[in-house]
């Protein structure tokens, strides 16, 4: 399949708490993917980000966010995720996570173990996450003017659609990637 659509796409890098570097407004949708919201460690940072995102959407625009089910995870406070194994070009790599809880935040330690020509190599990455409760997310969404807030069944990684309905069903979207966040704008239809 040929995915080349010859699109003219502009990319921007911004802190989601300040999207002023993105000159466009009126997007049909924003997608915040891969558990990006829990990087915002305070409620005020979360609310500021949601307000900024809402300001970039048209009135009927939607916000779609993916995040872990922290309401459940806070009740069990797991300390690790089991390893995942991958093979590529005859070499193995495996990834596992260790979670070090501090109240409603946790230090996330990601370990990549890579098979190389000279043996095994380990890489370590760390970050701090907020265990973002649905009630805190809903509070920020309501403060930014979102309505019709919905979530799918909880799971370890969960797709949580949030926002305003009425996105055109026949849209041929153009995507703009912003640090784990994607804004989608439907091209203008030619006038008759």
Residues 37 and 61 in one domain: yes
Among 72, 52, 67, 50, which Cα is nearest to 163's? 50
pLDDT tens track for 56-97: 999 888 898 888 889 999 999 999 999 999 999 999 999 999
Residues 125 and 92 in one domain: yes
| Domain boundaries, position 103 | 75-130
In a domain, 12, yes or no: no
Q: The pTM is what? A: 0.77
CATH of the domain at 60: 3.40.50.150
pLDDT tens track for 149-158: 877 665 444 3
CATH of the domain at 107: 2.20.25
DSSP 155-177: -SEEEEEEE-----TT---EEEE
Structure tokens at 96: 């596992």
Residues with Cβ within 8 Å of residue 47, at least 6 apart in sequence: 139, 140, 143, 144
């Amino acid at each position: 399949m040929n995915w080349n659509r010859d699109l003219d796409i502009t990319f921007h890098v911004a802190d989601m708490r300040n999207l002023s570097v993105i000159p466009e407004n009126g997007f049909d949708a924003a997608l915040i993917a891969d558990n990006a919201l829990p990087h915002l460690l305070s409620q005020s940072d979360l609310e500021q980000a949601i307000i900024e995102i809402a300001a970039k959407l048209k009135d009927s625009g939607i916000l779609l966010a993916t995040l872990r089910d922290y309401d459940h995870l806070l009740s069990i406070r797991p300390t690790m995720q089991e390893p995942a194994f991958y093979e590529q070009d005859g070499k193995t790599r495996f990834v596992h996570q260790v979670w070090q809880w501090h109240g409603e935040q946790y230090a996330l330690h990601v370990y990549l173990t890579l098979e190389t020509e000279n043996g095994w190599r380990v890489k370590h990455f760390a970050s701090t996450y907020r265990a973002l409760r649905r009630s805190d997310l809903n509070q920020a969404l309501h403060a930014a003017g979102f309505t019709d807030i919905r979530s799918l069944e909880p799971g370890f990684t969960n797709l949580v659609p949030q926002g305003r309905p009425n996105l055109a069903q026949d849209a041929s979207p153009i995507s703009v990637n912003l640090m784990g966040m994607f804004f989608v704008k439907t091209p203008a239809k030619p006038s008759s």
